Structure 1
Amino acid sequence: MRVSPRPWIGIAVWVGYVVIVTVVGALSGVGYNNIGDSAETLFRSAGLFLGIGAVYLVIVTTILGWWRPALFERARSRHRWPIVAPAIMALSVAIALPAVDWSRIDGGYLAGLLTLGILVGFNEELVTRGLLLTGLRAEFREVWVWLTTSALFGLMHATNIISGAPVAQTLQQVVLAFLGGTAFYITRRVTGSLIWAMALHGLWDFTTFATGHGTVGPSFGLFLGVGGEVLALVVVWWTFANAERRTVATEAQ
């Protein structure tokens, strides 16, 4: 690694990303509740700020030389069974997607959904459970790494208020994002790779927007997924077993 990991570096990268997506999102002129209205709003808002955010993260990760520790675990969790929580989320996606009325989703909107899913999964996982996690592991125990990355992942969604999201709805989203972040953390710890967390995260957001645009009424599948997120909070403790302390600092030597 070109730069030795430090907590302040991971936090600074996170702050930089949040500022970029918040400012670009505000400048797009598309309110939060209107992002999924059409293919045009998807690309003009989410596609734009997520695209710029992705470029920022690729440049920063390359300069720091943190690609490997950001994407891969040096030592996986000794307990593998906690993967059941994110597996329930994956199952919920499999249930929800067939229920979507795909006749309501044209080619342009589908392209927007795919772009959003890929960029959300890549960006938000890399910045929190990738770069932020790498920085924090240099000095903190794994339980604090999980708690901080999940809390800041939830907190970054609070900026939706700036784009017009209702406060009560946003607070609920922050809590659910914390729980979802825990499930994505478990995915990384158990599989040994952030790539699987990126895939699950991207599929989850893709499905959320697809069901919101192409179904009438709430989707049972996504309700099941929320159950998986809650379960993640219960089982995450077992993933700390065999978690190496200050792993990244050791790798940098």
Structure 2
Amino acid sequence: MPDRGASTAWKQFWERGGWWKGVILAAAYYGLYMLGGLAITWLAAPMLTDPTSPAFIVFAYVLPIAFGGLLLVLFALSLGWLKELFARQPIGGGKWMWIAVVLVLGFNILRFATIDYAEAGFGKVAVWLLAGLFIGFAEETLTRGFVVNLMRKAGHPEIAVAVVSAAVFSALHAGNLLGGQALFTTLMQLLYTFGFGICMYLTLRVTGNLIWPILLHASTDPSIFLQTAFPADGSLTAIASLGNLPVIVFGLIAIIFIRGRVTQNDGLKIENPVLG
């Protein structure tokens, strides 16, 4: 028979929340995700001879991140949080937060419009779109789902929720150094992912449901990867490739205006209903 006492203690531990638990969860997730990815690529090594093939993308990116997403779902089920994570948000957002949605979505559309689809081929486009869906689900469920939820349960102000969830999201990408990525490139990626993380937090606030940052994130990675690898000719391509800078700038500025607090006992407390 299952140990109900242990199960209750497990749930109570996480229900008390805390920013440091979000960090621990992210570290554990990343470790298991990396181990799962190594196991998958090791098993599929004979099929991974061409790093540009759709098969390589599936085994190197899609399946490992899908495995990570599955781990998060199982963890949510162990706590009974799956419905809670995707329920209506307990705090809304100001109209200005829509800027984050428009900014990210606008540049995603520009990038998708400036891809040389003939050169990329249907197979690569399809698997990158699939990869984007799993990336968006796993990374947003972890950071804008679990980390945000854990911090709100501990009563942290929303500015702290935004910054920590974005910082955890950014830190997950530091592991790219282990894959041989240059230090400067990684540092710029960490800055971008922090700004992007703030934009995803604002998307969560203003749309009211985790599904929307997941979908917005799901359209971001494929647009960046495909447009970088297969850029179409034309001046619009150059404009689309500059999309990271506005996200960084807006994300950093937006922190100043984030307000609010969610408490477990008192419900919602809005510190500044105008700024959100």
TM-score class, shorter: 0.7 to 0.9
Single out whichever of 46-55 and 18-27 deviates more from structure 2: 18-27
Q: CA deviation at 1:119?
A: 0.5
Give the match for residue 13 of structure 1.
25
Give the match for residue 118 of structure 2.
103
Give the match for residue 193 of structure 1.
209
| TM-score (normalizing by structure 2) | 0.80
Change (3 A) 1:115 1:219: farther
Of 131, 143, 159 in structure 1, the residue corresponding to residue 159 of structure 2 is 143
Alignment deviations for residues 93-140 of structure 1 (CA, whole Å, 9 cap, x no partner): 112211111001223212211221101110000001101111111222
Of 211, 214, 220 in structure 2, the residue corresponding to residue 204 of structure 1 is 220
Q: CA deviation at 1:248?
A: 8.9
Task: Note if contact 1:70-1:194 (Cα within 8 Å) is conserved in structure 2.
Answer: yes
Q: Which protein has the larger Cα radius of gyration, Structure 1 or Structure 2?
A: 2
Give the match for residue 112 of structure 1.
127
Give the match for residue 262 of structure 2.
245
Say whether residues 1:89 and 2:104 are aligned partners: yes
Q: CA deviation at 1:207?
A: 0.0
Give the match for residue 165 of structure 1.
181
Alignment deviations for residues 5-52 of structure 1 (CA, whole Å, 9 cap, x no partner): 41254333212211122233445379xxx9973312211211121011
Task: Note if contact 1:26-1:162 (Cα within 8 Å) is conserved in structure 2.
Answer: no
Say whether residues 1:60 and 2:75 are aligned partners: yes
**What SS does structure 1 have at the residue aligned with 2:190?**
helix
1:13-52 aligned within 5 A = 13-26=25-38, 28=41, 37-52=52-67
Task: Note if contact 1:91-1:225 (Cα within 8 Å) is conserved in structure 2.
Answer: no
**What SS does structure 1 have at the residue aligned with 2:52?**
coil
What fraction of aligned residue pairs are identical, expressed as a percent? Answer: 22
Letter of the aligned partner of 1:110 in structure 2?
V
Alignment deviations for residues 194-216 of structure 1 (CA, whole Å, 9 cap, x no partner): 21111111111010111122216
Task: Note if contact 1:154-1:178 (Cα within 8 Å) is conserved in structure 2.
Answer: yes
RMSD: 2.7
- Name the CA distance, whole Å, in 1 between partners of 2:83 and 2:258: 20
Single out whichever of 108-117 and 228-237 deviates more from structure 2: 228-237
Point out which structure has higher relative CO (alpha carbons under 8 A, 6+ apart): 1
- Name the CA distance, whole Å, in 2 between partners of 1:206 and 1:5: 37
Q: CA deviation at 1:228?
A: 3.3
**5+ unaligned residues in a row in structure 2: which ranges?**
1-7, 269-276
- Name the CA distance, whole Å, in 2 between partners of 1:124 and 1:172: 19
Q: CA deviation at 1:222?
A: 3.7
Change (3 A) 1:143 1:65: same
- Name the CA distance, whole Å, in 2 between partners of 1:197 and 1:44: 25
Letter of the aligned partner of 1:17 in structure 2?
Y
State the aligned residue count.
245
- Name the CA distance, whole Å, in 2 between partners of 1:57 and 1:25: 15
- Name the CA distance, whole Å, in 2 between partners of 1:20 and 1:234: 34
Letter of the aligned partner of 2:23 in structure 1?
I
- Name the CA distance, whole Å, in 2 between partners of 1:156 and 1:87: 25
Task: Note if contact 2:111-2:223 (Cα within 8 Å) is conserved in structure 1.
Answer: yes
- Name the CA distance, whole Å, in 2 between partners of 1:178 and 1:9: 19
Give the match for residue 184 of structure 1.
200
Letter of the aligned partner of 1:178 in structure 2?
F
Task: Note if contact 2:143-2:168 (Cα within 8 Å) is conserved in structure 1.
Answer: yes
Task: Note if contact 2:116-2:231 (Cα within 8 Å) is conserved in structure 1.
Answer: yes
**What SS does structure 1 have at the residue aligned with 2:31?**
helix
